[in-house]
Amino acid sequence: MNTIEHLSQTRNITREELELLLTTDDRELVEQLRRTAREVADAVYGKRIFIRGLIEISSHCKNDCLYCGLRRSNRSAVRYRLTEEQIYDCCATGYRLGFRTFVMQGGEDGWFTDERMCRIVSTVRRRYPDCAITLSLGERSRESYQALYDAGANRYLLRHETASATHYAQLHPAEMSWQHRMDCLQALKEIGYQVGCGFMVGSPYQTFDTLYEDLQFIRRFEPQMVGIGPFIAAHDTPFADQPNGKVTYTLRLLSIIRLLQPHVLLPATTALGTLHPQGREQGILHGANVVMPNLSPRDHRKDYAIYDNKICTGEEAAECRACTEARFARIGYETVVDRGDYKPNTP
Ligand code: SAH
């Protein structure tokens, strides 16, 4: 049994296998990894891609993550927040374009109190009972997560960023804690959200050891979704001069995660598309099955600048929707109008 068969059958990986699969230039092995991951994705979800409409609701943030262009210390970041009406308009446009999942993402902006956010969620819930509502608003209290869930949110994306507490401390200021991030993820799961965790590939100080810990964390936590994308340096941040993450590592990790967790929802991220013109298509061909086209108002898109040179900042929602459909049709995949729910593991 070779490494890929071993991975696929045991749904586990050793530290040594991980390093081997990321660094090898054995073309056959690399292609076997990709092909096997894609076969597994096909078996569970078919040649279908789920789309989620991403609404970037605020570029204000009280946190100071060293990698992020929206960190509070970045005085050159342009700050905006959408009004409630703008958010509803994005949903209306998105619904017309066939989106059945809305993802509201933002910096940790105190303006979006539980009261305001619950009103927004319950309004969207009432207007679009057939849609999934996903939130990605960072760390909040358990009570807040519960209130938002009760208001109608179904899913929450909170990347764990790294499963190593030491590495976490190298990416975040002292006032942020790895344990708190983990507690948030646990609370979200207990409340009943479908949860997405994830990490950047090639973040500063990342090693094969921390990546191995990330994969073992994913196996233990069993999230419904895993978001990974390459780290991309953002100007005016402490990591401005750090090298970007590798596209090859990201693609191979997508395949590995698909083999470890066959049923997981796995997006081909915008960051991957930013570092390579065919990054998202390659992501799909390596086992991803989700994409998150931008539904944010065009006027604000360039200001949701978590990293440099982000793609799709000049387009309208309808253009992104059409582009997505065409891109994946070219590689033989159908973009579906569907909530695209997690398919639980059946024995
Ligand atoms: N405030 C929210 C949303 C953050 S943006 C939260 O805390 O969850 C979503 C993700 O973008 C982050 O979790 C991080 O993994 C990623 N990200 C941030 N800066 C990045 C960078 N410079 N390059 C690549 N990805 C980045």
Using the mean position of ligand 1's atoms as its centre, give its distance from the Cα of residue 110 in Å: 18
**Mind listing the pLDDT tens digit for each residue in 90-146?**
999 999 999 999 999 999 999 999 999 999 999 999 999 999 999 999 999 999 999
CB of 239 sitting under 6 A from ligand 1: no
pLDDT value at position 345? 73
User: Nearest-CA neighbor of 181 among 205, 164, 203?
Assistant: 164
| Alpha helix segments (H runs only) across the chain | 3-10, 15-23, 27-45, 84-96, 114-127, 142-151, 165-171, 178-191, 208-221, 247-260, 270-275, 279-285, 298-301, 317-330
Residue 85's identity, in one-letter code, is E
How far, in Å, is the centroid of ligand 1 from the Cα of 274?
14
Ligand 1 mean position, distance from CA 293 (Å): 16
Is 70 exceeded by the pLDDT of residue 17?
yes
The pLDDT score that the predictor gives to residue 346 is 60
Task: Provide the whole-model pTM.
Answer: 0.98
Question: C-alpha dihedral over 85, 91, 97, 101, to 10 degrees?
Answer: 170
DSSP code, position 243:
P
- Give 268 Cα–ligand 1 centroid separation in angstroms: 15
Residue 168 CB less than 6 A away from ligand 1: no
Does the beta carbon of 128 sit less than 6 angstroms from any atom of ligand 1?
no
Mean per-residue pLDDT of the chain = 97
pLDDT tens readout for residues 310-343: 999 999 999 999 999 999 999 999 999 999 999 8
CA 219 to centroid of ligand 1, rounded, Å: 22
Backbone angles phi, psi at 14, to 5 degrees: -95, 165
* Residue 296 CA, distance from chain mean position: 16
CATH architecture of the region 10-336? Alpha-Beta Barrel (3.20)
Give residue 347 CA to ligand 1 midpoint distance, Å: 34
What is the model's pLDDT at position 1? 83
pLDDT at 347 over 50: no
- Residue 61 alpha carbon, nearest atom of ligand 1: 1
Q: How confident is the model at residue 344 (pLDDT cuts 50, 70, 90)?
A: confident
Average pLDDT over residues 219-226: 98
- Cα 285–chain centre separation: 17
The pLDDT tens digits of the residues spanning 251-301 come to 999 999 999 999 999 999 999 999 999 999 999 999 999 999 999 999 999
Q: Is 136 in the pocket of ligand 1 (CB under 6 A)?
A: yes
Which atom of ligand 1 lies closest to the CA of 271?
A: 24
